[in-house]
Amino acid sequence: MRDITGCVAMVSGANRGIGEAIAAALHADGWALSLGARDLASLEASAARYRTDVASGGDLGVGGGPAVTLHRYDATDGGAAERWTSETIAAHGRIDCLVNNAGVAYPDDFEELTEDMLDEMWEVNAKGPFRMLRATLDHLRRSGEGRIVNVISMSGKRVRGTFAPGYAMSKHAAMALHHSVRHLTFGDGIRCTAVCPGYVQTDMTSGFGVDSSIMIQADDLAQALATILRLPNTASVAELLVTTEPETIA
């Protein structure tokens, strides 16, 4: 397994749900963190649950453990990726891992789906990761063992009946982006993993009408990912599919 001491991971949407769980798991593993979210106050409260010496902006904070910095990141802002990347380099001096986790979901069926909903999901779920990858790619290449994680969804692998067609459209696009970048960067020592869970017990899924007792726990998903990120370059996991029930994946 890799020694990730001194390595820096950027995690978007780190203020709640899957992103919060990933940030906590990576911090426990020893990663220094640059965390991004649209709601900075929520991000500060989230990070305080596993780190008591967190500082905002470019201040690394004091105390034991790896450094953590907090940054405002809005995936709908075309310049946010470049700003956050620049702030991360200024604070940490390097980027070894990018976790594209920020996302938005409208579960409306086709006849109720609006163009405004579709535009927002396209902006956040597809263009957001695209911009972050463009902004960080050179830094990840310099790492020599860079890692890219795209938190997608089982909705990026299949369409579940009439459920959330717009969300599936945006996540299929994100999956195409993932594999394009995976092939592009393999020779640079970068390894890319698409995380595709079914229903995860988070705020996002609370209104989906699914029994929460069968849902994946965010902490379990994060632990699986933390293990993958410690694998050497000779053990690349292109996709991590985690489901709550049998799936038919075309």
* Residue in 73, 106, 167, 199 annotated catalytic: 167
Q: How many CA atoms lie within 13 A of 22 on its CB side?
A: 29
Q: Which two tokens stand for residue 140?
A: 């990840």
3-class DSSP string for the chain? CCCCCCCEEEEECCCCHHHHHHHHHHHHHCCEEEEEECCHHHHHHHHCCCCCCCEECCCCCCCCCCCEEEEECCCCCCCHHHHHHHHHHHHHCCCCEEEECCCCCCCCCCCCCCHHHHHHHHHHHHHHHHHHHHHHHHHHHHHCCCEEEEECCHHHCCCCCCCCHHHHHHHHHHHHHHHHHHHHHHHHCCEEEEEEECCECCCCCCCCCCCHHHCECHHHHHHHHHHHHCCCCCCCCCEEEECCCCCCCC
Whether 106 sits among the annotated catalytic residues: the reply is: no
Active site members: 167
